[in-house]
Amino acid sequence: MTTPVRLERDGDIAVIVIDNPPINAGSAAVRAGLLAAIDTLAHDAALQAGVIIGAGKTFIAGSDLKEFGQPLQDPQLPAVIAAIEACGKPVVAALHGAALGGGYELALGCDYRIAAPDTMVGLPEVTLGIIPGAGGTQRLPRLVGLPKAIALICSGERVAASEALALGLIDAVASGDLRQQAVASARRRNGARSLVRDRSAPCCTPAELAAAGAAALRAGRERPAVRAAIEAVGQAAQADIDQGLAAERAMFQQLRLSVEAKALRHLFFAERASARHAALAGVAPRPVELIAVLGAGTMGAGITIAALDAGYRVLLVEQDPAALERGGSNIDALYADRVQRGRLSAESAAQRLGKLERSLDWNRLAAADLVIEAVFEDLAVKQQVFARLDAVMRRGAILASNTSYLDLDAIAGATARPQDVVGLHFFSPANVMRLLEVVRGAATAPDVLATGLAVGQRLRKLPILTGNAFGFIGNRVYAAYRRQCEFLLEEGAYPEQVDAALEAFGFAMGPFAVADMSGLDIAWRMRQSQAATRDPHARYVDIPDRLCEAGRLGRKTGAGYYRYEPGAKARQVDPVVRDVIDQSRAARHLAPQALDDAAIVRRALLAMVNEAALLLAEGVAGHAADVDLVLINGYGFPRWEGGPVFWARERGRAALERDLDWLALVSGAGFVRGDAGVLLQRED
């Protein structure tokens, strides 16, 4: 049996190589191998120092998260680090690729840290609902001070080698062969030790410490892991590091078994599973060098920026000169703002903009490998556009629609090449939002789907494959959620109560505040397009229609579910809306009921869960956890709750069945109950 750690001798230097592909995760076997190698270093008189280095593309990208939900196996990482510190001989950490979490904590236990220029270091544990548990909260403050340590640990920031050197996170950046330089560094130390644990944290005032903690709490929404990290770092101000290490480990052990940590691990593994598609195994994507974006509005401009940032050449095409000018100006302004804020160099901005061509000539589209249509969300308009694209685009080029809910097959039917048509549903603003739904039409070729996923990854998006159904995954689940919240208005709640309850649960915004922000007319048009096919017996809430008919379309008209004063960002409760709701209830002879916040949250989440079950049964979503990824990355569902599928699984089969039966009862005619069983089938 091969071991993931080997000791190679370079004269009097022990080179300890971690070889646990693909990311050298700090598993139990790696920890045992490191402990054995350190023991050899400590007791072999022929060895004067050691170097720890990773094989392959990275040092240690983090601990093995699969272990965190189980009893931890010995040796645990603190024991390995303690052995390094007690071995009596200097140890150099040679970092490359990623040195994150437990990997960077291991490096902090060494005497010296040298990194290749491509290295990223950091302690991202708080983003997984835990805190560093192997000394990160105690040793990092001794290098950078308590306020900076709080900022780095609570944000989970990953720091590039050059900045890490400036901050003191590492001691040197290698200018040549990393291993050779690390061995030379170890030999030059002549047995002298320089352990982080022996240093004192740089002084700071109580006010500085309090300010750093307050800022971290605000940014971290006061989550338990953020609070624990601040408390643990505060221990580093004490002289006795062992007390701080013990307190840190106790907090870590408690947090790693929490529901929040479990939820965040669920999302971590869900992202990796979402990229695996058995039907696309071995399918090579088509080459894409030039992307054309059709439409220079808000969405088109955002897609253009995302493509430029990813290094693509981009052709932005419009048919209206004024629209092209506005879109181009918005793109220029965004890059100018980035330069002014110091987020991008002027040279990099110019380089990216140099890859952009703007045109009114549709014939230029013939040169593109992929065109992304971002025009008005109307089926007839999109069919006209795709018929025109079919006549212009070269054979083998990919035609993508940014439609958010329309029938992709109906759009593809306007062409003679439906196999080349795919949906690429971006979320606004497209240059910021991470989610990308890649929509599979009935005829979409496998290599076209593979290309959509590959382009999404290069754009630094989270591409989720979805079948072609009204609203795909995200908008369909969100529509069920919003519809249930509208039922609550009929039954006795008002918009401000529903929004407050769901925001307290953790949503970035409640559904009615979201509706005002996006515009009530968008959903209104969608309902109108469905009116002819809607079940006349199904329960239908007319409150949003009444608001739209009164000209209350949201923020853009100064009134929707709330009132918005000119120049003010805050929404205001409007008695007019209450009158509209009361009139609607009276027309349906509905007596208002008292609804508490817990009932509101339960109804809303169960509506999402039920729709997720329907999507899975229909094959629209390929993985149950994909629903969680979509809702969290596109719709403001709180990450620490894991998503609606995770939430449902935590309730258990019996409780979930009772809940869905109850939801069907209170939802009335037209409600279709999903099969809870499809949600509970584990995919890992």
Do residue 465 and residue 485 come from a single domain? no
Domain final residue pick, 470, 487, 509? 470
Q: What is the mean predicted confidence (pLDDT) over 614-630?
A: 95
Do residue 302 and residue 233 come from a single domain? no
Q: Is 498 exposed, middle or buried (0-12, 13-18, 19+ CB in 10 A)?
A: buried
Assign residue 470 a region (left: φ > 0; alpha: ψ between -120 and 50; beta: otherwise): beta
Q: Structure tokens of 348?
A: 């990099």
Do residue 328 and residue 450 come from a single domain? yes
Q: Is 275 exposed, middle or buried (0-12, 13-18, 19+ CB in 10 A)?
A: middle
Of 203, 196, 201, whose CA–CA distance to 236 is shortest?
201
pLDDT, position 1:
52
Q: Report the CATH number that the domain containing residue 564 is assigned in CATH.
A: 1.10.1040.50
Contacts of 241 (CB under 8 A, 6+ apart): 138, 139, 142, 197
pLDDT averaged over every residue in the chain: 94
Residue 683 has pLDDT above 70, yes or no: no
Separation of alpha carbons 183 and 92, rounded Å: 8
Separation of alpha carbons 647 and 73, rounded Å: 28
Using pLDDT thresholds of 50, 70 and 90, give the confidence band for residue 411. Answer: very high
Q: Structure tokens of 372?
A: 């992304």
Q: For residue 31, how far is the Cα from the chain centroid?
A: 30
Do residue 496 and residue 463 come from a single domain? no
User: What digits encode the pLDDT tens for the residues 19-38?
Assistant: 999 999 999 999 999 999 99
- Residue 155: inside a domain: yes
* Contact by Cβ (8 Å): 85, 41: no
Do residue 304 and residue 446 come from a single domain? yes
Domain final residue pick, 257, 279, 308? 257
Q: Structure tokens of 63?
A: 């601990």
Q: CA separation (Å) from 7 to 57, 174, 308?
A: 19, 22, 45
CA atoms in the 13 A half-sphere facing the CB of 619: 4
- Residue 36: inside a domain: yes
User: What digits encode the pLDDT tens for the residues 519-534?
Assistant: 998 888 888 888 888 8
Q: CA separation (Å) from 242 to 42, 108, 236, 279, 384?
A: 22, 15, 10, 53, 71
- Residue 424: inside a domain: yes
Q: Structure tokens of 392?
A: 């212009």
pLDDT, position 70:
80
Do residue 483 and residue 463 come from a single domain? no
- Residue 283: inside a domain: no
- Residue 271: inside a domain: no
Name the residue range of residue 538's domain. 475-680
Residue 62 has pLDDT above 90, yes or no: no
Q: Going along 70-220, which residue ranges are E strands?
A: 91-95, 98-100, 112-115, 120-122, 158-160, 172-173
Using pLDDT thresholds of 50, 70 and 90, give the confidence band for residue 324. Answer: very high
Do residue 317 and residue 458 come from a single domain? yes
Q: Structure tokens of 358?
A: 């703007």
- Residue 268: inside a domain: no
Do residue 114 and residue 177 come from a single domain? yes
Q: Going along 240-369, which residue ranges are E strands?
A: 290-294, 313-317, 356-359
User: What digits encode the pLDDT tens for the residues 179-230?
Assistant: 999 999 999 999 999 999 999 988 888 899 999 999 999 999 899 999 999 9
Do residue 455 and residue 542 come from a single domain? no
Question: Structurally, how many domains does the chain consist of?
Answer: 3
β-pairing verdict for 120-122 and 158-160 = antiparallel
N- to C-terminal Cα distance for the chain?
A: 26
Helix (H) / strand (E) containing 644: helix 644-651
Could you give the residue numbers annotated as active site? 105, 125
Q: Report the CATH number that the domain containing residue 81 is assigned in CATH.
A: 3.90.226.10
User: Helix/strand/coil (H, E, C) string of 378-422?
Assistant: CHHHHHHHHHHHHHHCCCCCEEEECCCCCCHHHHHCCCCCHHHEE
DSSP class of residue 593?
A: -
Residue 144 has pLDDT above 90, yes or no: yes
Q: For 115, phi and psi rounded to 5 degrees? A: -130, 145
Residue 638 has pLDDT above 90, yes or no: yes
pLDDT, position 632:
96
Q: What is the mean predicted confidence (pLDDT) over 279-283?
A: 93
Helix, strand, coil distribution of the chain in percent, nearest 5: 55, 15, 35
Q: Is 533 exposed, middle or buried (0-12, 13-18, 19+ CB in 10 A)?
A: exposed
Separation of alpha carbons 61 and 169, rounded Å: 16
Contacts of 625 (CB under 8 A, 6+ apart): 266, 267, 269, 270, 273, 274, 643, 645, 646, 683
Q: Is 608 exposed, middle or buried (0-12, 13-18, 19+ CB in 10 A)?
A: buried
Contacts of 629 (CB under 8 A, 6+ apart): 267, 270, 271, 274, 435, 462, 464, 643
Separation of alpha carbons 612 and 615, rounded Å: 5
Do residue 10 and residue 130 come from a single domain? yes
User: What digits encode the pLDDT tens for the residues 85-141?
Assistant: 999 999 999 999 999 999 999 999 999 999 999 999 999 999 999 999 999 999 999
Do residue 503 and residue 458 come from a single domain? no
- Residue 273: inside a domain: no
pLDDT, position 423:
98
User: What digits encode the pLDDT tens for the residues 489-548?
Assistant: 999 999 999 999 999 999 989 999 999 998 998 888 888 888 888 888 899 999 999 999
pLDDT, position 65:
82
Give the residue, 657 or 526, on which the prediction is more confident: 657
Residue 306 has pLDDT above 70, yes or no: yes
* Percent over 70 (pLDDT), the chain: 99
Domain final residue pick, 448, 470, 492? 470
pLDDT, position 523:
85
- Residue 281: inside a domain: no
Contacts of 246 (CB under 8 A, 6+ apart): none
pLDDT, position 684:
52
* Contact by Cβ (8 Å): 328, 314: no
Helix (H) / strand (E) containing 465: strand 462-467
Do residue 520 and residue 376 come from a single domain? no
Give the number of other CB atoms < 10 A from CB of residue 223.
20
pTM higher than 0.85, yes or no? yes
Q: Report the CATH number that the domain containing residue 446 is assigned in CATH.
A: 3.40.50.720
Separation of alpha carbons 467 and 437, rounded Å: 10
